[in-house]
Amino acid sequence: MASNYHHGDLREALLDAALNALDEHGELPSWRALARACAVSQTAPYRHFVNFDALQVAVAAACFRRLTAAVRTATAKFDDPFERLAAGLTAYVRFGYRHPSWYELMFGRKRVLLENVEVQAASAEAYGTLVNGVAACGVVDSAAQAFSLWCAVHGLADIAASGLRSPVPGTRPADLPAAVIEMCVAHIRAQAPLLRPGKKKGA
C-alpha cells in the first residue's frame, strides 16, 4: 500500500503534518499550507477530506486516541486503584501540558467537532477510562464523582496548556499539578471509605 497511486499515502501524510505543525507552530496550518507541506497542489487534499472541518475532525479524533493510550499506559504500572487513579490523572494533565495545541483543538468548542460521531466516540472512550478508574476505587456513584474529577483535571490541563504562569507566588509551577491531583484522590478516598489502601502512608 506504499505507492499505489501518485503520492503514496497523502491522507496519513496530511494528518502527520497537521499534528506536527500543531506541536511546533501552535496552531493548525492553513489548508493550502498543509498541502504545500506535503508537496501537492492546494486542492489535492480534497480527495481525502471533504472539508477543512473534516480534516480537523480526523486530527481531533487522533488526538483523543493518543490521550486514551497515554492514560492507559500510565495506569498499567500500578495495582492499587488509588495509585492507578493518581497516575491516570497525572498522565492526563501531562498530555495537555505536552501538547497544548492538540488539547486546545480537542476541547475547543467547535461545532463540527462536538457534533461529529468519530470525535464523540474517541472522547467517550477517553472518558470511560477515567470512570473505570474511579469505579475501581469502590465509589458508589462513580459516574458522578468521575465528572468532578474530570472538571478539576481538565481545568488543570487547560491551564497548563496555556503556559501555567503560576498564579501562586512563591510556588513552582511544577508543584501545582500535584496539589490538584491530591485534592482529587482525597475526594475519592473520602467517598470510598470501605476500601482503604494498605500500602502508602500511615493514616
DSSP character at residue 29: P
**Interface mask toward a copy of itself for 19-58; x: CB under 8 A:** -------x--------------------------------
> All 3 cell numbers of residue 146?
468521575
Q: Which of 127, 138, 185, 189 binds a copy of itself (CB under 8 A)?
A: 127
Nearest-approach distance from CB 100 to a copy of itself, in angstroms = 7
Cell 503556559 -> residue: 163
Partner whose binding site includes residue 198, from DNA, a copy of itself, none (CB under 5 to 8 Å by kind): none
Partner whose binding site includes residue 74, from DNA, a copy of itself, none (CB under 5 to 8 Å by kind): none
Rounded to the nearest 10 degrees, the angle between the axes of helix 52-75 and helix 10-25 is 70
Partner whose binding site includes residue 78, from a copy of itself, DNA, none (CB under 5 to 8 Å by kind): none
| Cβ(150)–Cβ(130) below 8 Å | yes
Q: Which is nearer to DNA, 32 or 98 (CB)?
A: 32
Partner whose binding site includes residue 154, from DNA, a copy of itself, none (CB under 5 to 8 Å by kind): a copy of itself
Residues 6+ apart with CB under 8 A from 55: 14, 15, 18, 31, 34, 45, 49
Q: Using CB under 7 A as the criterion, which residues of the chain lie in contact with DNA when the complex forms? A: 4-8, 10, 30-33, 40-44, 46-48, 50-53
| Cβ(130)–Cβ(88) below 8 Å | yes
